[in-house]
Structure 1
């Protein structure tokens, strides 16, 4: 089998973008490129000419000037989403550069053995097809310090040479290439110096993987490159970016697989009191970052998240605002001399270790593996009919958990495979030999050359290594007569970057949340469009339903869908400056560029006069005072607390298919859930003390509350969860009491009148044109609700003027400042005498017209709206406050009822 070469437009664009950078260069010949027996690459273009070419090509490819990162370094950056054929692009670029300019010396620099093998396999697969197109085959070889004759040929030959090297092969002074005292030197100079005389074009594959360290930059400079060309989906350093294919563009245009996220996570597991050691820094004193259950002070909601840097003596209860951790004071942060691992010891004797996850991991792994096998067999049956072999990839946390003395993950795989297999094979049971043959694994090599595990010896490992990395095409064949029967591939981190296979349809990440494998890298291993046994890529037609789609990648992480998507979007945002550039994980259909937008005051004197008068009325500031009725608080709290029901602690698997995009946001299909009940583990807690810590109520008041509570069985299910819910109820009751007694009074101060033309860097969706009735010709909007309201107000003949209120117009409340949305002036005639009156309104827009709709409005927003009502009542009847408002028509109806004219 041979993968078929395709002529894809986006790949050709990336290739020609590099070729155009060298336009105007003198074609290399024997005369201008050979000196002292060394054939080199030659360029007569000045830096200024090269930069002009770079700017022109980048502009042709639609890149904004600030994204190009123009540099005087002889470097180019090409950014292509994983799975879109980056390796083939730079291979064909080498052919094109020889064809156009007769450049002959190329070095492909790779960060790992896995990527090196992938590059060699690609050359091998496409050699004959490329020869048919270009009429030659370059001399391609991997650098080997024991075969320096190949390096000599590289230096001297006129024929195109491609040397593939890992960074480790020359990145220290003691490496053979750097040695100056040897009998086999090239013309009495170190080989690296001789290579430098060829002025090679260096292709940097995944340069973010260690090629930009100070030492690496220094060592690469010894190669004296004519140009360095960076290829990656996840650049950390960008110089002279000339082509970019974002994840969003790849996903939208069907260049990669669609994505299903099938999450497996613990639910209602607050009782586990998990703590994880996420990071260590050891400067003057050692400090640690921990993950734990944090409680939000205002809402009472608890989230499992990362702390700031903590030191010895810090109390985790204080840092997380969670009294459940009050007995967790950090006694010691240290690194074991024996194991070399960091750990944190707490005052209660608990010790946690670096990157060791708390919680019931084996149960989660079991469910992840079970669902992976289900998805694998489901897809295998459907794909086999189309001549496509299904592969699945499993990232594990530690090599020992697959090949050690107690291989937990391998044992779980075998157990679940035996359990699931009969369901898809007419009740038949798999043999032990079959289960063993279906598994392949690749783990990084040790410094002594052995693989980083101890099963089967080096010989067997080499066979597995070749099957996964070198015989990439053979692994895509299936049938009883095929030698390579691997369907499930296990890896730790070595396959995390650079390796992929078009027929990976499922990926499970059994590694911890601190895995070095990032979201884009995890997804990227299976994004490539699949191929059949003839090496032909098989595409889905536009509009294919989820159930019929061939190119569907299922990712099974051990975290919630929201966490997975959020981390993915943050990663995208850090690269592109916009989370909407992501592949299938964005919240909007259209990623918009930010532009400078000018906001000009409406030139109408009538509008400006009306607005100044309106502002004078609403600019009055107030102070508030509050009081409590303790008896009423106790009775209300007990009534609500006795209604609490606590859910069981479970592990949940949930599926989401990411579909096409729309203007209103990411469209996804919910694929369903499955739940496995767990036993909660907890420590006995002092109920009164913890609730007091959370709410600020005295012990005396809480004793009166707890005496009247009669649902203790709910507390036993999950004490921390119960305490958090009780605390939130008490806070809500406190706020209700506060609202009943709160009083606002004017304090004699006013908000300043500070309105002038301004400009902002924003996208088109963040503002709306309001030329008729807007105080400014444009209105800032934060939502579709605000956009619709603005458009309707601007077209209403009864509106005199309106404005999106500035962020500095704040009404103070006990739970924080409140910023209303709109100010609006309306003019209406009296029916009796025909005189016109102006009416002033402040409006809060929400996704509902009902203040009791807690699905659309949070508790905090409701309290702030109720406080605002009292604020506006206190400043007089001139300004009427309407909240919440979803539709402009609802606002007009409310106006009819209140002003009655």
Structure 2
């Protein structure tokens, strides 16, 4: 199949906006490179109009586009284009290059991207739009990916008179690796020239894709060496301090309401309750400092007065988890002995070692992941069946925490399934059995039967050339990474059309982090994150890989031109979140609200409850009143000291406590809550801020299979004695008197049993004390 492209007014408007800023600039052909350079070639014509005219054009354009006018040319000739993820940002700036060439004759362009993944995606976009743009403009772009070992393409970039585009990832000119330094070196293989000088001599126009991910302090300095004519900046999430000369904006609210992106649905999965017996520890990260020792960020459980809850704390060496958890037995002996920033590990005095990103002691973690995979497969098959007869291929994307969870190696180097791959195949087979029993659609059933479970999933990860093993692409120089599985790499990264073909069996894709930015496929309908939420990964990033409107088997975009008002019935992206529905939906809406320019300004204080203390009335005692005899007499009466003597029968308290425990003790069991909701029409920025754009539709609860850790010894009697002040004999009598079903709840959740039983006993004790109290002066 071949993807088809049609005219989209908003993309044409974005391209026209850039061109309009330079209205008045004459249309000249390329000019020869300056004579001071000892090589032939052509450069973009300099700007021949005044800065004042450019500023006037810019401000007029901004007013037309309802953008606050720039008082000056911020960052000189830097222009910002804000476009929501999924609306065709890359297509738009390729179209813009053609328009700039058409209006002004400019033909030398350099596209700078933050990662190899985005670079591959951009290169592929040039390839699949080549014929489409050739039909519209009557010419083709010569584009290439910068390679420090293939400098002949740079020479051709300089001396070719057509439209030339170089695509380069920022690491290729801004890292300390030897290959990255070659761009600044006089090379014999390049006629003793520096590659950067040849590029700079063409006076290129820079296009920065995702500038918020590219421009660190060092990169900004390096960018100056490109000697750019002007710079165009494209992103959905620009930094607020880098919105130089905004010329076009298509934010999340407008893109959604104009049905230019998919509708978002959220399926949240979370645990309710805890046994507090498994020593749950999650090491999120280790922070390194110049002036003090490293610190670790942990999640763990803490016992409060009435319940056990999960907290997040930054800790240092000698931190005692038993003490800081409120005395939970699960943490006895967990004292931090060493925080190793080099190995990214934390060691405890009991010998336990945990690595950043890993969870220790949670028996429910694998069950949650299995349920996420199951729910993703379920959503996938439901959506696939719905769209099958429309000829729409459905894809699902999994982001995982550790590559080894999907693929591992034996001692001979043979690749084997990891845990998640095994779980996926088990759950997929079970789902197929269920569909075979309930589905009457013969064509769809035949489609399912023809695909083997082990052939319908594939992974895109990275492998380090130095040891030929998969690695985390975040911590290794991307230029030293290649795909672990070349076939999967080509299918996922380069052969988008084949992946969209119903005949291609791969429908489920697993990846670490390399696909989080820069890769998208219009037919991703489910995204599942099989990892802990991270504070530096935004929800908009997670949903961004699947927002683009889908295409059918003929390559036609399923937009309003084809589907009319049915767009958001067909195009629904379901996020299977690794947290509660409420938490994910709320955070996503807040992030979307941040990107919306116009609408009501949200004041969090408007919705805040009134502080009751702010209306407190002060009482002042007048001196005359204080000296009145009657007032003093009254004061003596109410301030008289009283003694309280309590006498009650232990048997009465024991019996009442037994009755209360049998009647009222109810220890919560571990359960997994699954809730589903989708996005309605976004009426305003305030709707997003108030969390009203995503509406909850359905929910269910499943029992979690969890057992108490029998290795943790509880002094049940001692804990209740400590909480109630009764004698051990009295507590023994109470526990021996309750029903066996009541006592069995201790096995379900020991800490909750102790907390709730102690509370009920104290309530009975208080009632008996009040009844049998006698006061004396």
- TM-score interval for Structure 1 and Structure 2 normalised by the shorter chain: 0.7 to 0.9
Find the counterpart in structure 2 of residue 248 from structure 1. 253
1:563 to 583, 596, 603: 583
What displacement does 1:727 show? 7.3
Find the counterpart in structure 2 of residue 178 from structure 1. 183
2:359 to 357, 361, 366: 357
1:738-759 deviations in whole A, cap 9, x for unaligned? Answer: xxxxxxxxxxxxxxxxxxxxxx
Give the Cα separation in 1 of the matches to 2:224 and 2:130.
30
Aligned partners of 2:55 and 2:72 also within 8 Å: no
Alignment of 1:264-303 (within 5 A): 264-271=269-276, 272-283=278-289, 284-294=292-302, 300=306, 302-303=308-309
Residues 71, 398 of structure 1: alpha-carbon distance in 2 compared, 3 angstrom cutoff = same
Give the Cα separation in 2 of the matches to 1:33 and 1:27.
18
Find the counterpart in structure 1 of residue 67 from structure 2. 63
Find the counterpart in structure 1 of residue 86 from structure 2. 83
Aligned partners of 1:172 and 1:219 also within 8 Å: no
Residues 411, 159 of structure 1: alpha-carbon distance in 2 compared, 3 angstrom cutoff = same
1:438-459 deviations in whole A, cap 9, x for unaligned? Answer: 22221124245967379xx999
Give the Cα separation in 1 of the matches to 2:708 and 2:344.
27
Find the counterpart in structure 1 of residue 664 from structure 2. 643
What displacement does 1:570 show? 5.3
Residues 139, 336 of structure 1: alpha-carbon distance in 2 compared, 3 angstrom cutoff = closer
Aligned to 2:157, what secondary structure does the other structure show? Answer: helix
2:680 to 659, 662, 665: 659
What displacement does 1:712 show? 3.2
Aligned partners of 1:327 and 1:348 also within 8 Å: no
Query: TM-score normalized by structure 2?
Result: 0.78
Give the Cα separation in 2 of the matches to 1:404 and 1:224.
47
Find the counterpart in structure 2 of residue 531 from structure 1. 551
Query: TM-score normalized by structure 1?
Result: 0.68
What displacement does 1:622 show? 8.5
* 2:10 is equivalent to residue 6 of structure 1: no
Aligned partners of 1:268 and 1:721 also within 8 Å: no
Find the counterpart in structure 1 of residue 103 from structure 2. 100
Stretch deviating more after TM superposition (498-507 or 445-454): 445-454
Aligned partners of 1:657 and 1:671 also within 8 Å: no
Aligned partners of 1:69 and 1:239 also within 8 Å: no
What displacement does 1:198 show? 1.6
Aligned to 1:7, what secondary structure does the other structure show? Answer: coil
Give the Cα separation in 2 of the matches to 1:111 and 1:554.
27
Give the structure with the higher percent helix.
Answer: 2
1:666-694 deviations in whole A, cap 9, x for unaligned? Answer: 3524233251431233434445776799x
* 2:18 is equivalent to residue 18 of structure 1: yes
1:744-783 deviations in whole A, cap 9, x for unaligned? Answer: xxxxxxxxxxxxxxxxxxxxxxxxxxxxxxxxxxxxxxxx
2:744 to 709, 713, 716: 713
Find the counterpart in structure 2 of residue 506 from structure 1. 526
What displacement does 1:531 show? 0.6
Alignment of 1:70-469 (within 5 A): 71-172=74-175, 174=178, 175=180, 177-185=182-190, 188-209=192-213, 211-236=214-239, 238-240=242-244, 241-271=246-276, 272-283=278-289, 284-294=292-302, 300=306, 302-307=308-313, 309-317=314-322, 319=324, 323=328, 327=332, 330-335=335-340, 340-345=343-348, 347=349, 349-358=351-360, 359=362, 360-405=364-409, 407-425=418-436, 434-448=452-466, 452=470, 461-469=485-493
Aligned partners of 1:443 and 1:451 also within 8 Å: no
Residues 423, 415 of structure 1: alpha-carbon distance in 2 compared, 3 angstrom cutoff = same
What displacement does 1:714 show? 2.6
Residues 701, 476 of structure 1: alpha-carbon distance in 2 compared, 3 angstrom cutoff = same
Residues 296, 142 of structure 1: alpha-carbon distance in 2 compared, 3 angstrom cutoff = same
Aligned partners of 1:355 and 1:514 also within 8 Å: no
Alignment of 1:568-587 (within 5 A): 568-569=588-589, 571-572=591-592, 575-576=594-595, 581=596
What displacement does 1:64 show? 4.5
* 2:695 is equivalent to residue 668 of structure 1: yes
Aligned partners of 1:270 and 1:293 also within 8 Å: no
Aligned partners of 1:263 and 1:653 also within 8 Å: yes
What displacement does 1:545 show? 11
Residues 680, 190 of structure 1: alpha-carbon distance in 2 compared, 3 angstrom cutoff = same
Aligned partners of 1:40 and 1:200 also within 8 Å: yes
Find the counterpart in structure 2 of residue 889 from structure 1. none
Aligned to 2:117, what secondary structure does the other structure show? Answer: helix
Find the counterpart in structure 1 of residue 772 from structure 2. none
Aligned partners of 2:187 and 2:193 also within 8 Å: no
Stretch deviating more after TM superposition (280-289 or 680-689): 680-689
- Unaligned regions of 5+ residues in structure 1, if any? 583-589, 598-616, 738-901
Stretch deviating more after TM superposition (423-432 or 243-252): 423-432
Residues 192, 45 of structure 1: alpha-carbon distance in 2 compared, 3 angstrom cutoff = same
Find the counterpart in structure 2 of residue 680 from structure 1. 707
Aligned to 2:86, what secondary structure does the other structure show? Answer: coil
Aligned partners of 2:110 and 2:206 also within 8 Å: yes
1:687-739 deviations in whole A, cap 9, x for unaligned? Answer: 5776799xxx67459997896574433333112333455677799999999xx
